Structure 1
Amino acid sequence: MDGANGADEGRERIFEALPPARGRGFARTWWGQSWLRALEDTALDPEQLKQGRKYARAGAVGAVSVRPGRVTAVVRDRDGIRRRCDVLVQRLDDAEWDRLLDVVAGEAGHVAALLDRDLPPRLAEDAAAAGVALLPGIGDLEPECDCGVWDHCLHTAAVSYQLARLLDRDPRLLLLMRGRDERSLLEEVQRRSALRAERAARPVGTAPPPGREPAGVPADEAYALGTILPPLPEAPPVPAEPGDPPSLTGGTPPAPGVDAGALEFLAARTAVAARRLLAEALAPDHADTAVPAPLTRWQDAVRLAAARPGADVVARLAAGCGRTPLELRMAVRAWEFGGLAGLAVLTEEWDPLPAERARAGERIAAAWADVRGEGDPPRLRVTRNRWTPVGTDLQLRLGRDGRWWPYRREGGRWWPAGPADRDPAAVLAEPCQASPSSTG
């Protein structure tokens, strides 16, 4: 979660204490603001809410536990006394959940949002139309605090204001408070969605095979039945930034052998890739663009390592490909200068045709004289597609696409030193650039 570490322990989620909220409101999203409106409309003592808001803003609320029907936290008084507070939330009954789940399963946009760890505001309107109030009303919140104050005291009010900040980050917490944890909710929604699709695809008047639970409809069949099935939702807009993955490093320790930090890194990179793929899919020329070949394991490891994970992740990526961390760092530098083409030149050796080899030598010699102006050009040592001016730490490599790539010797190895150019003179002019970002 954004700015809070959450540990999903079945039907309970625990969030570490949030920092003070000085200089900002308690809620920025529709769900957080709606929660505050519901709180302020149902509380009897506005002064207690006002004091609670000050406590929450000052960071007096500790870790918050959210589970079905109850929110719990410890609030620190100004005199240092710690108060255990509970806010009891009225759960939805079975009939209300049945209506709400039908509402969610019947709208493709609602299902997609839940799978994307979101909760669309329109769901509250659709639920209300089905007779289900997601947001609490009068009698739905019951405060409990060991300070002895009746109704909302400043401590339970502080917890309620802090909860608005958590709802900003994950509005699905409202569903958990109302009685359903994420896993069981998604499983039931997907089951109902699959059943709806199976019914829509089945010819009128026919029954499903006895004893077989519907398992959904293949995508090609669904598109072929476009006149029968509900219309597909509008394409989602491309978000301004990739989504933030959930935090996995707080709360319950991971199982043995599970690297929570590495999983967080992979989740973050997946969000970046998902945003890029969505942008490409919505581009006007997407239908005419060839599908790129899938990356090999080595290429994908280099792509991930270029995002600058920690040393432990780099070591795991290298070991997974049978390479050393040094080899991976060299590959990352090649990737940063030229992507797949730059990575290929790092290791690929090939033999240009004799005439092409001769022209390449002449072009390098002429470029040396034009750019360096240092008398006679040095003798060139040619090894397949690699030209090395003798007595220098520079090497030029010719790619299969006719572009020249500069390399320089560092620590006894040839390292990529800059982007490619079709003119060797341009490469010689700036033969030893720094990598686009530190290679570590």
Structure 2
Amino acid sequence: MTTAREDRRRTFDALPAGLAPESWWGRAWVAALEERARDSARLARGRTYALEGHVDAVTVTPGRVVAYVRGSRPRPYRTSLALTTFAGEEWEALLEEVAADPGQLAALLDREVPQALSGALLPGRGDLIPNCSCPDFARPPCKHAAALCYRLARLLDEDPFVLLLLRGRGEREVLEDLTRRNALHAARERPAAEPELPGVLARTAFARRELPPLPVPLPPPAAPGHPAACPDDPAAPDPLALDQLATDAAVRAYALLTTGADPVAGLTPWQDAARLASAHPTSGLTGTARGLYRELAGATGRSTTELARAGAAWRQGGLVALTVLEEAWDPPAGPFDRARPALLAAGEGTFRPHRNHLTSGSRQLRLGRDGLWYPYESSPATPPVWWPAGRPAADPVAALAGVTGGPPTP
């Protein structure tokens, strides 16, 4: 915490050369100096000294500014300015004026000097007394004292409370006095009795009571809505991608509304990419959605062919079917013991078992962990690439009914 002694003594480092004051009070300080000076040549030389950075660190105490100013000789001169400080009744009048005027108080708290205080704070005739250790004391101020005056104007520009300190009081004690006076003004302006406002006590408002039942919610729509058509504008995003995102958002919102569950929750990026690709059958490699397939495949580190197979699996049965495509496992012997004779009796031929797969030529059945048989058919590639080829079924013969054995359509 700043002590009262520290509050009434401040030292400022030397400023770099250049820069004239910009605030109105900094310019007013310079104007007051120039109006009262008797030698314009000394002022001009002092202004040059200040702009060239000849003034070293400045110490400000009530009624006094001291600094060393470097002139034409190697040894700097000790230069000071004395300013008349305010008496107790003058401070009382000034602080009461500021506290009673919200505009002046706000300006001072924003570190600005209110215009109304310019006459009281700025030096009047005979207020500012310069002193310097240089031999030029015939017609004050000398150029060194003038340089300090110009340097002080820049200090006031940065911190207007320096002006109040020169008049006798530090920043902390001024602000504490204004806070106390402002509280007294607010108390005097507060009405004696609080006005009666309509309302109820908080304990009454929050008391336990019976509430009316909530209204019956509106029935959900029969199906998700269709998004608006997006124009094909070269400067706009891909309309197909926008349509895909809008449609997907509508389907997810409909699922949340009707079931309370998000169908996408918990999916990995690859699983979600397969779900999005499944909305565009037969278009992953050759159709208008190939750009979408490229972006989805690139984002997941897969090829477009892998994504097309995953999308086909998703259309076959969602996440479970995608797992069947990507995961081989060792089921119990019972399902295979029943499935192979049933297929042979139905004229489908002999199927060779391997883990959860039954394969015959270009046709294949895969047993999922859900107990359903998922039909597949192979492409003519070597080695063959297996593609989902129909809907799963609990009966292996029924699941194989739609598989022709020809090359699949991606």
- TM-score normalised by the chain length of structure 2: 0.49
Structure number with the bigger relative contact order (C-alpha 8 A, sep ≥ 6) is 1
Question: Which has the higher Rg, Structure 1 or Structure 2?
Answer: 2
- TM-score normalised by the chain length of structure 1: 0.46
